[in-house]
Chains A and B, each alone.
Chain A
Amino acid sequence: NAGVTQTPKFQVLKTGQSMTLQCAQDMNHNSMYWYRQDPGMGLRLIYYSASEGTTDKGEVPNGYNVSRLNKREFSLRLESAAPSQTSVYFCASSEWFGPGTRLTVT
């Protein structure tokens, strides 16, 4: 039982590059979330998914897309990365959080 896993742990991108952050859970939860946490700040909700096949915008969705193709996985995609997207990204499954992905965009 791994809980919530996120890959990769660290990533450096150049401006304009794209990438997908992966999140998976093995707790059979319906709801999943993506947050970003900037230095010294709280968590801001990017997107969430109430159940398989559904997604909704959170507080800061611009520049991101998500996909919930099955109950286990909820991915976050940056189509054209910008320095303002440098942050730590956390995935959550119900109330349980993953370890985070530290993303730097240069």
Chain B
Amino acid sequence: AQSVAQPEDQVNVAEGNPLTVKCTYSVSGNPYLFWYVQYPNRGLQFLLKYITGDNLVKGSYGFEAEFNKSQTSFHLKKPSALVSDSALYFCAVRDSSSYKLIFGSGTRLLVRP
């Protein structure tokens, strides 16, 4: 069975500092991995995805994520955080042999001025 874990309920970072939001996954085959952001009372916005190829994936709004197969991780990163990045972030995974897309519990990112 596939699963995804976001071990931190909340991440706090100062504006201008680098940020990392962690995600680990478990699938039986090859993973397809996704990151989304959700602002209050809004839907989910797609940030980036890993299907195959380069382990470093670049996405929207300056975000990137690194796929690490040996650690089964797909952490979201940004070199310099903005206050406007404060939101709820979700990691999601599906097995390449299935269309079942499962989400983590979410991590709240708070960027302080």
Q: Which residues of A contact B (CB under 8 A)?
A: 30-31, 33, 35, 41-45, 48-50, 56, 58-59, 90, 92, 95-100
B100→A56 contact, CB < 8 A: yes
B100→A99 contact, CB < 8 A: no
**How many of chain B's residues touch chain A, expressed as a range?**
10 to 19
The answer, among B34, B46, B100, for a CB contact under 8 Å with A58, is: B100
CA of A41 to CA of B88 in the docked complex: distance in angstroms? 10
A48→B102 contact, CB < 8 A: no
B103→A43 contact, CB < 8 A: yes
B103→A98 contact, CB < 8 A: no
A100→B43 contact, CB < 8 A: yes
B66–chain A nearest beta-carbon distance, Å: 19
CA of A27 to CA of B102 in the docked complex: distance in angstroms? 22
CA of A94 to CA of B45 in the docked complex: distance in angstroms? 13
A42→B104 contact, CB < 8 A: yes
Residues in A whose Cβ lies below 8 Å from that of B101: 31, 33, 45, 48, 92
Contact flag A97-B43 (CB < 8 Å), given A42-B90, A43-B90: yes
A59→B102 contact, CB < 8 A: yes
Residues in B whose Cβ lies below 8 Å from that of A50: 99
Contact string against A for B residues 15-44, beta-carbon threshold 8 Å, 1 for contact and 0 otherwise: 000000000000000000010100000111
The answer, among B90, B100, B104, B105, for a CB contact under 8 Å with A48, is: B100
> Across the two chains, which residue of chain A brings its CB closest to B88?
A42
B43→A45 contact, CB < 8 A: no
Residues in B whose Cβ lies below 8 Å from that of A33: 101
A95→B100 contact, CB < 8 A: no
> Across the two chains, which residue of chain A brings its CB closest to B32?
A95
B46→A95 contact, CB < 8 A: yes
The answer, among A48, A59, A90, for a CB contact under 8 Å with B43, is: A90
B103→A99 contact, CB < 8 A: no
Residues in B whose Cβ lies below 8 Å from that of A92: 44, 101
List 23 A–B pairs whose Cβ atoms lie within 8 Å, in order of A's numbering.
A30-B99, A31-B99, A31-B101, A41-B106, A42-B90, A42-B103, A42-B104, A42-B105, A42-B106, A43-B44, A44-B103, A45-B102, A48-B101, A56-B100, A58-B100, A59-B102, A90-B43, A96-B46, A97-B45, A97-B46, A98-B43, A99-B42, A100-B43
